[in-house]
């Protein structure tokens, strides 16, 4: 009887584990498919990089390739691409390679993939940014295991708020949504941040708690 009970508990635990892993690994590709013109999860990572860098819909490009002393950086501005419900003044895309400490002896890098949607620094512009922020929050918040909220209060040099969303089995939050403003240029901005890694030429969630060897 106890053996049967233990088997049921093990099966339930394993099923629950697979559910959380599946949820975390599936929601981020849904976000990139919905909001990013170049989708890192659609195929090989090298194809994603090539599509982004050579995208004819992007102008004002800035590219810094990885060297022995610097990491990869790319940015540009879309001509017409807009995945949001409001109409921003401009939409910029940035892909940055960043160092991450895995432990006291090992250092690796991950990629920050971001969309910046800028709007006028008016009350209407602020409301549109915050409304879009709330829509994205409502759409994806329940799909992640936990989240962490931080804010800069109104009255500071530049107010803003950020939600970092954490998957249950990875050490780095794979998704964040932020807003900030007004900037020095009197604009408000909405930011979507996807954090990914390149493993065997495939985009994956960054820094797993357990990495099979």
Do the Cβ atoms of 163 and 141 come closer than 8 Å? yes
Q: Tell me the average pLDDT of the chain.
A: 86
Question: What is the pLDDT at residue 22?
Answer: 41
Query: In this model, does residue 7 exceed pLDDT 90?
Result: no
This prediction's pTM: 0.84
Q: Report, as an integer, the average pLDDT of 20-42.
A: 82
Band (pLDDT 50/70/90 cuts) for residue 104 is: low
Query: In this model, does residue 210 exceed pLDDT 80?
Result: no
Which one is predicted more confidently, 144 or 210?
Answer: 144
State how far the alpha carbon of 56 is from the alpha carbons of 38, 73, 74, in Å. 12, 18, 14
The pLDDT tens digits of the residues spanning 50-87 come to 999 999 999 999 999 999 889 999 999 999 999 999 99
């Amino acid at each position: 009887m106890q053996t049967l009970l233990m088997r049921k508990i093990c099966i339930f635990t394993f099923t629950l584990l697979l559910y959380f892993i599946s949820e975390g690994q599936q929601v981020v590709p849904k976000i990139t498919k919905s909001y990013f013109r170049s989708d890192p999860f659609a195929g090989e990572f090298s194809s994603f990089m090539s599509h982004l860098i050579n995208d004819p819909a992007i102008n004002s490009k800035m590219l810094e390739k990885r060297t022995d002393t610097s990491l990869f950086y790319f940015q540009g501005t879309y001509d017409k691409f807009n995945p949001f419900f409001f109409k921003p003044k401009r939409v910029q895309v940035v892909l940055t390679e960043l160092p991450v400490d895995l432990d006291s002896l090992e250092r690796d890098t991950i990629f920050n993939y971001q969309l910046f949607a800028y709007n006028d620094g008016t009350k209407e512009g602020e409301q549109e940014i915050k409304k879009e922020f709330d829509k994205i929050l409502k759409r994806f918040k329940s799909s992640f295991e936990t989240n962490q909220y931080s804010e800069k209060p109104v009255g500071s040099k530049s107010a803003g708020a950020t939600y970092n969303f954490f998957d249950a089995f990875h050490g780095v939050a794979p998704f964040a949504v932020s807003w900030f403003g007004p900037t020095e240029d009197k604009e408000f901005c909405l930011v979507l941040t996807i954090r990914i890694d390149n493993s065997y030429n495939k985009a994956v969630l960054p820094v797993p708690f357990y990495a099979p060897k």
